[in-house]
Structure 1
């Protein structure tokens, strides 16, 4: 079989799980990687079918490759080439890209939701990385994908909050007030915070924003809130879920340093603290 011929037929795939993936990669030869459900299966997603149950294997190739899909292989073209991960000796797309390619071919809302939620709850990647790929693939116009993204972001925030609680507990930080709103006495609402130490006027805010079309507006709103609080003498520590997951000790040190430095700062303005 001449693999360089654009329309070369694919020989029948053996039904031995990963061997089918090797045949699909061999069809495209150089500059290719598995993506979609095949990649998620190799990434050990419980909500993805096992290799032997996947009838149509997605392979990612550069946009300029002259290669066509066959009955067993769907050719997916990439304008931006991601860095593949090697699993079982096969080149595999990273989870966010594999998810986007899988979702593009799925119409079952339940399956899409389970895949996206597992990406975060299983520790495969951060919600923002998933949403970036879905946005790039123009999938955020599909109602069932938008619903799944909302569940994904809720899952991501819940996990980040649990890690924040763990950080305070494991590193012996003083107990803060959790999930509060701040207001000026008789004045406007200043915004919600994930943790607040009123005696030291130190706040922690988790950044669980996801990049969407309105992200610039959200970022501007966040920046305005932070600047307003800091003008009132409140130190705001900004922590992302990724930093909490990968470097919790460093984030604990940042918060502890801010708490210890409180005595060297001018007293903060009086604010009203309310449960959120």
Structure 2
């Protein structure tokens, strides 16, 4: 009886855990799951607060690997279709790039259709950037989200 009650709440418990961890969308949760299966990647900072060398607040990527100055983003057409949204995405990308952060962009369809390829691309970029000692002046702070509990 106890197990039956728990099994019916599995999805709710998973969703609540994702919210607590700062997951902002279903595609982002899928990216986390995809990259979480990597045997190469260290722990990824999800939705981190990034600061420039002077303390200025930088855009928050979906995921960030500080030791390789590598960011990952889920870009759905739904939120990037309007011209203003697309320009905002480009501005965010350029702002991070000027601090030598490499930003990899994936669509929800890519993550669902071929998670192994997405993971391989991120691993290859991580390995490459670590191999030549990529560094940036970006500092990480507390996550950019706040739990609402």
TM-score, normalisation: structure 2: 0.70
Per the TM alignment, residue 244 of structure 1 is displaced from its structure 2 partner at its CA by 0.3
Between the two proteins, the alignment pairs up a number of residues equal to 119
| Corresponding residue number in structure 2 for 1:217 | 84
Per the TM alignment, residue 266 of structure 1 is displaced from its structure 2 partner at its CA by 4.6
Structure number with the higher helix fraction is 2
Alignment of 1:159-174 (within 5 A): 159-172=26-39, 173-174=41-42
Residues 1:264 and 2:132 aligned together: yes
Counterpart pick for 1:274 among 127, 134, 142: 142
Distance 1:211-1:194 versus aligned 2 partners, 3 A rule: closer
SS at match of 1:218: helix
Counterpart pick for 1:194 among 41, 52, 62: 62
Q: Alpha carbon RMSD of aligned pairs, Å?
A: 2.1
Alpha-carbon distance in structure 1 between the residues aligned to 2:78 and 2:89: 13
Alpha-carbon distance in structure 2 between the residues aligned to 1:265 and 1:227: 21
Per the TM alignment, residue 185 of structure 1 is displaced from its structure 2 partner at its CA by 3.9
Per the TM alignment, residue 199 of structure 1 is displaced from its structure 2 partner at its CA by 0.8
Distance 1:228-1:177 versus aligned 2 partners, 3 A rule: same
Alpha-carbon distance in structure 1 between the residues aligned to 2:73 and 2:126: 15
Alpha-carbon distance in structure 1 between the residues aligned to 2:143 and 2:78: 25
Distance 1:252-1:228 versus aligned 2 partners, 3 A rule: same
Query: Larger RCO: Structure 1 or Structure 2 (Cα < 8 Å, ≥ 6 residues apart)?
Result: 2
Q: Unmatched 5+ residue regions in structure 1?
A: 1-156
Alpha-carbon distance in structure 2 between the residues aligned to 1:206 and 1:258: 16
TM-score, normalisation: structure 1: 0.39
Q: Which has the larger radius of gyration?
A: 1
